[in-house]
Structure 1
Amino acid sequence: MKTILYRSETRGHEQHGWLDARHTFSFANYYDPNRIHFGALRVLNDDIIEGGKGFGTHGHDNMEIVTIPLEGNLSHQDSLGHGSVIKSGDIQVMSAGSGIRHSEYNGEQDIPVNIFQIWIFPNKKNVTPRYQQKTFDFANNKNVLHEVVSPVQDDNALWIHQDAWFSLGTFDNGKSAAYKLKSAANGIFAMVIEGSFNVGGVVLNRRDGLGISEVDEIEIKALSDNARILLMEVPMQI
């Protein structure tokens, strides 16, 4: 088993007034040649957006984009005609494919919104752009990992153009779960959202990340109540 540890305080940090952004991997003005990507996982941004502010209309192509609101509400509009609000408990995916333009704003004036925005390299280029959103009931289904993103087109999870699987869970102190990787060619990146976990023998605290490869299965154990974790299984070769 190989591991690479990304402590929260070592992430890139940019303050743009209305945007407080922390980058696990190189992004925008933050560049670290040792932190470009973990396999197909290219971007893991932890953004806090002030009330009434946001990202104006801008474009993407050939990237799978997953947005996970942690607190607050994010308003979304895109060139495909979608207009929606995503909130905590929702997951949004966009396949940028041949090109998509969108905007993201905090629709609340007085309450900040905190999101994870995650970019995954796709396994197909120039696909037809698409958008999908789904609500999950994590709060009432604790101590299990919920699969929220996969390559499979069904009603259980959102799908993307990559052999990647995302799982989210909220755990009570002392509760554990095992995760078996779907493919021997994949690695897994764990990001602690809240609280503390033991992941594969490594203690992780809030917003710590751990990349794990050359492993078939990992075990996670919560070390605090209402501990939240995101697991991202991705191909290591791109």
Structure 2
Amino acid sequence: MTDFHGKKVLVLGGSRGIGAAIVRRFAKDGADVVFTYAGSKEASEALGKETGAKPVQSDAADRSALIATVSDAGPIDVLVVNAGTLALGNPLEIDPDAIDRMIDVNVRAPYHASVEAARKMPEGGRIIIIGSVNGDRMPFAGGAAYALTKSAVQGMARGLARDFGDRSITVNVIQPGPTDTDMNPHDGPMSDYMRSFMALKRHGKPEEIAGMAAYLAGPEAGFITGAMHTIDGGFGA
């Protein structure tokens, strides 16, 4: 357990899956948590009642709305950007609008949210981006654009770590592998195929990703920045 009493945490994309586990973990550890959702209003309200966290509707693809949401949160100690989307398919056939939206959500949103949060973030703040092991490895066809977005946040984190280092604000990326969520269930149609790449033959748990986020936001991680933290059961080994 990490003590986040007196700390304010903003989780972008916190209504389901990994995001909800992160909201639960920080709330359990005493933080004042605000989280955003795009369309899962009922799930977000239920999570808010369960944890005491405050849900706010905001579309990560809308730059103006995103920046306003981060600004309205006031000075925050920890920003976790979990909002993300996935578009897979033959690059010769996939809808280019779906690719552009994925770039908006997976790349532009983390950048603009991080910059806006840093304007008011106190000394020693934490910025954590949820990326993907596919930023390092794309072992199947149809994922080129998704891998592009997850590789892009690696460079972003390295650069922002230097930009904000003089204020001891750290910037890190967590790179999950296959994780048991409603978008990627452990018993889904591709689960056996994905586990065939893994050293540990199981999906990760959202709580395991949340535990790494709590560690990176805590006092023991103050010297870790500009780094990629892979938690994938050996998917990329």
Q: What TM-score, normalized to structure 1?
A: 0.32
* Higher share in strand: 1
Q: What TM-score, normalized to structure 2?
A: 0.32
* Higher share in helix: 2
